[in-house]
Structure 1
């Protein structure tokens, strides 16, 4: 009779979901070579190849697809059972994996992630930043952090921050050469720092006031895909930036940047932690949720 250890089964599931050995190895906290050897040992005992391997890709074989279909539900039940027992721990242990955007990661790093590590010294936290929304569970994360409007409807959401908004800013040196815009349409005569989205499309600047809303494809010779670069460019007088209020608050207060069109950029729901509904919530995730609620209650 063939036998397979739990780590071998988890290895197969991780490679299948991640589409490669390197990403799966990171998820499981092991080396790529150890992961490959584990799967090879299981394949030898089974007498079939679970994966078709080339120098450029890894894909499930027909036998692998059948194996995943039959083993997956059993592994899910085992994880649920282990998470149920884990819930009885007095202190969480292990690794909490979060997926978020770079800007959101900056917002939660000090008040949540670092505080979490101080509270629970036996825990580790791994934060992965990506511009595009990913399948957090399929990619091996415990939870994600995004603005409310981006969260899939089938997820449970826990508010992290209160309302937030984006603002338009420019440096004093920039406004020495140009008048301040009074309406969004005035931006069509300004140099704007345009934003390239993770999808590849250009972001249209959005405005709303007293029921009137519009989105503009603003002009500009500089296009960037990262908010910190946009902020640096705005400080240097390269143009106007449409950027998170949180990230420019200190610059505005210090006079390094000037905010314009304030009444055209209303607030919207802020960051949320999100995760799938489960019968048993892991202790590590439950502790992070409790920290979020404690932090919100104190502000």
Structure 2
């Protein structure tokens, strides 16, 4: 078995085309690096480099061997890092984007608990209902409701199915009456927010094999989902919100869900990454943490 140092010298020499450069990078003498390469070639029984007085280049056997050595050294480094994280705890920066309402009212207290469990992680949180461009912005992962519009993104499921609910405050229902079915929503004040730059005023409901789409209207419109929730709490109308956003309000009696025999629009809730390579141990631990918390709130 070749030593790790011999393999590292081989890779450095192949990348730089120079034994001296490889030796400097590894803080060795050129003579020691040269001996290591010869030792490796002797053990393998092949020539890894074709040498001349002025240059050296990989042989065909050397090129094939280089691919295997790179993979082996990468795997070894990843294993050491994983072991270090397990023994010392997770560390590093975790940049996360999240919807404003879920982020402020649900995620923030959860992240306090997450930080207590992993004190060496540095959290950077971006709250905005505008979807962050994961390829251009300084964001590692983003929490999003719905099917990703970009199929190249890596979707890590938090809840594979998550429903929206129509809800209002007890005060509003006392003043204006409680609608008994989705069709009656057209007679009430809907609290609207922008979705992809347009008012989200078509609300969908399902019951068994029946689907109903209701065009709603109202005097309140915002580009922030949290504002629609606050308007609902203030008694200004009926909101159509993700269950996770209003679960605690419903349980506390601040909001009431309507016609529960009908199910609102169902969408997945995912943690999105731009590349599989960015699914770090920090991201995997966050995914498991959020999945557990969200499952506890599921209806």
| d(CA) in 2 for partners of 1:281, 1:108 | 20
Q: 1:135 to 1:88 in 2, by over 3 A?
A: farther
**Of 257-266 and 202-211, the range deviating more from structure 2:** 257-266
Deviation at 1:209, TM superposition (A): 2.0
> Aligned ranges for residues 22-171 of structure 1 at < 5 Å?
84=78, 86-87=81-82, 89-90=84-85, 91-105=89-103, 106-111=105-110, 113-150=111-148, 152-161=150-159, 163-171=161-169
Question: Is contact 2:99–2:128 with CA below 8 Å preserved after alignment?
Answer: yes
Deviation at 1:239, TM superposition (A): 1.4
RMSD between superposed Cα atoms in Å: 3.4
**Secondary structure of 2:178's aligned partner:** coil
After TM superposition, the score normalised by the length of structure 1 is 0.61
**Of 120-129 and 238-247, the range deviating more from structure 2:** 238-247
1:200 aligned residue:
197
Question: Is contact 2:192–2:220 with CA below 8 Å preserved after alignment?
Answer: yes
| d(CA) in 2 for partners of 1:281, 1:258 | 38
| d(CA) in 2 for partners of 1:115, 1:210 | 39
Deviation at 1:280, TM superposition (A): 7.2
**Secondary structure of 1:262's aligned partner:** coil
| d(CA) in 1 for partners of 2:278, 2:227 | 41
Deviation per CA, 1:55-110: give whole Å up to 9, x if none. Answer: xxxxxxxxxxxxxxxxxxxxxxxxxx7x9575553233321111221133243333
After TM superposition, the score normalised by the length of structure 2 is 0.61
**Secondary structure of 1:115's aligned partner:** helix
Q: 1:245 to 1:127 in 2, by over 3 A?
A: same
Deviation at 1:286, TM superposition (A): 4.0
| d(CA) in 2 for partners of 1:171, 1:109 | 24
| d(CA) in 2 for partners of 1:107, 1:277 | 27
User: Radius of gyration: which is bigger?
Assistant: 2
Question: Is contact 2:204–2:214 with CA below 8 Å preserved after alignment?
Answer: yes
2:58 aligned residue:
none
Q: 1:287 to 1:137 in 2, by over 3 A?
A: farther
Deviation at 1:211, TM superposition (A): 2.4
**Of 177-186 and 263-272, the range deviating more from structure 2:** 263-272
| d(CA) in 1 for partners of 2:213, 2:295 | 35
The alignment covers a number of residue pairs equal to: 219
Question: Is contact 1:164–1:245 with CA below 8 Å preserved after alignment?
Answer: yes
| d(CA) in 1 for partners of 2:136, 2:292 | 29
1:42 aligned residue:
none
Q: 1:163 to 1:180 in 2, by over 3 A?
A: same
Deviation at 1:287, TM superposition (A): 3.9
| d(CA) in 1 for partners of 2:118, 2:90 | 7
| d(CA) in 1 for partners of 2:123, 2:245 | 23
Q: 1:295 to 1:166 in 2, by over 3 A?
A: closer
**Secondary structure of 1:166's aligned partner:** strand
For structure 2, the residue ranges without an aligned partner over 5 or more in a row are 1-73
Query: Aligned match of 1:256 in 254, 268, 272?
Result: 254
Question: Is contact 2:93–2:122 with CA below 8 Å preserved after alignment?
Answer: yes
1:19 aligned residue:
none
